[in-house]
Structure 1
Amino acid sequence: MPVTPTAEPRDPWALLDAARTVLTVHAHPDDESLSTGTLLAHLAARGAEVVLVTATRGEEGETIPGSIPAGDTRLFDEVRMAELDGAASALGIARRHLLGTPPALAPGAAPRRYRDSGMRWVTPQIAGPAEGTGDDAFTRRPHQEALADLVAAIEHERPDVLVSYDDGGTYGHPDHVLVHQLTAEASAATGVPFVEVESYNEEGHGSADGVFAHRELPGTAAAVRGALDAHRTQLTLLAPDRRTDSIGLRLSGGQEHRLPLGAGVRVHDAD
């Protein structure tokens, strides 16, 4: 059974500060860096063992022209897995697993693959479901299979805390929203508390859905920049701006963002 945290259960930072092992769940390669990079770098630097579970290989991601060298014969998902390895190393992640492969696989089940569901931009900053999603897409696969696989990963790693998106899924990507739902259900099934990381609204500010506890996390910039730089097919780092305590980047779709060196978190309330 997972270790029972001794911290006050409604204080997300107390849970995170006390955690010896943190399991973070994400939909695609690069989400660990874009959505939680600062938090994960902070946790790893202070000595927590950080474990990453990624649901898909990001097969439907847009690609920045020229980011894959001419003559590179790898499949796109292989490129993205290599980028994920680099990002995980930069953040100090101890281990990473793919959902549907051991140990993130339900006992007795044959390995299974969850494919990136894709998306379309509803507004310049908010995503929605793709117009054509295949039957093998993450959002169309049997829900209980994915849940069983995530529970298996939790039972294998025995984390003190789970970390993932809030119900806004960062920017509304259907795979992100599903990961939030699965993490909440897995938390209820295993008794491991779930700390949600704040989404951002269309203007790039914090989510208005609920109250989050914010903390600045100085000293994480180098690790986060290294992780982001590993995902060269998906984003481009912008030149540092000495006037702001944040990291600028441009996504493959052209959107520009500044990631703060801090995080807003809350404990998921099952009620």
Structure 2
Amino acid sequence: MLLLIFLLLIPLFWLAGFLLATDFSVPSSKLRPFHRILVIFPHADDEVISCGGFLHHVARSGCAVTLAFLTRGERGTPDATLSPGLKAIREREARTASTILGISTLLQQDFGDAMLHEKRQELTAFLDTLIQQERPDLLITYDLAGFYGHPDHITCSEIITELQKSRFRAIPLWYVTFPQKVLARVRLPEHLVTDLYAPEKRALPTHKIFIGSSVFPKIRAWSTYKSQRFSFTKGIGKFLPLRFFLSMMLFEYFAEAR
């Protein structure tokens, strides 16, 4: 009898979680056809939680998705200390996750984890060339706050935003984001903060996209990033199984840059 009650409570708990996780004030957007999408993030795993379901969905429909990581993630440790051995681990994890999501082309650069602000000129030249080569009809990256103020995220966004405004105005730029109630609870550890005004630069979602069954490959892709599991379990993952929590997130959120 207790087992039956428990089994009945699971879908009710999931439904409650879905309702809490979904911001119904953000308009839903029908997925318009894209042919080539260029996604640029500083670190492997940035893509999965933010837009992994969307990437799988468009790739399944025939869109060519190029995913570029700007670093090898050697500081992806609990206290952000340097761990050169992480490079090879995170590269393998990224390749596996990209295969699951149906990514057409994976590019893994090595501009230095937590060093992007020192490589701005070199990085700008690389991204300018990459956008010209890929000729995408959509660009995706972090917003100018870097989601939660991470310096690499901010530098990446600033460069791409400036390139889009100055050289690639015809290409839409979407910032990955989350519902406002989620953003309000996310903070970078104080010792890593370099921009005190980052929260003021956050882009609130302009639209959300239903990812449906693509949530399952998104969960599988995130599960490949075993080296980064600690970064998620610091939050809700302490209390809920990772897969169960992610299954509630049937929408992904974006802010279109103006």
TM-score, L = length of structure 2: 0.70
Q: 2:113 matched to which residue of 1?
A: 116
What's the CA shift for 1:80?
A: 0.7
Q: 1:26 matched to which residue of 2?
A: 41
The match for 1:52 among 67, 90, 95 is 67
Superposed counterparts of 1:241-252, under 5 Å? 251=231
3-state SS of paired residue (1:224)? helix
Q: 2:173 matched to which residue of 1?
A: 194
What amino acid does structure 2 have at the position aligned with 1:201?
Answer: L
The match for 1:255 among 231, 235, 246 is 235
Gaps in structure 1 of 5+ consecutive residues:
1-10, 64-73, 100-112, 118-136, 236-249
- Alignment check: 8 A CA contact 1:12 1:195 kept: no
**Distance in 1 of aligned mates of 2:161 and 2:220:** 30
The match for 2:86 among 67, 76, 83 is 76
Q: 1:128 matched to which residue of 2?
A: none
**Distance in 1 of aligned mates of 2:139 and 2:250:** 21
- Alignment check: 8 A CA contact 1:24 1:52 kept: yes
Q: Number of paired residues?
A: 200
What's the CA shift for 1:230?
A: 1.1
Considering fraction of residues, name the structure with more helix.
2
Superposed counterparts of 1:140-159, under 5 Å? 140-141=118-119, 143-159=120-136
**Distance in 2 of aligned mates of 1:210 and 1:220:** 23
3-state SS of paired residue (1:18)? coil
What's the CA shift for 1:252?
A: 5.9
Q: 1:70 matched to which residue of 2?
A: none
Is the aligned partner of 1:212 residue 2:206? yes
The match for 1:168 among 115, 137, 145 is 145
Give the RMSD, CA atoms, in angstroms.
2.6
Please identify, of 81-90 and 208-217, the stretch whose mean Cα deviation from structure 2 is larger: 208-217
Q: Identical aligned pairs, as a percentage? A: 26
Considering fraction of residues, name the structure with more strand.
1
Measured against aligned partners, the alpha-carbon deviations of 1:186-231 in whole angstroms (never above 9, x if no partner) come to 2222332211121441436xx9744521232101122101210111
Gaps in structure 2 of 5+ consecutive residues:
1-26, 79-83, 187-200, 238-244
What amino acid does structure 2 have at the position aligned with 1:146?
Answer: L
3-state SS of paired residue (2:38)? strand
Is the aligned partner of 1:138 residue 2:103? no
Q: 1:89 matched to which residue of 2?
A: 99
**Distance in 2 of aligned mates of 1:161 and 1:75:** 34
**Distance in 1 of aligned mates of 2:88 and 2:232:** 18
**Distance in 2 of aligned mates of 1:62 and 1:193:** 34
Q: 1:265 matched to which residue of 2?
A: 254
The match for 1:36 among 51, 61, 65 is 51
Q: 2:228 matched to which residue of 1?
A: 234
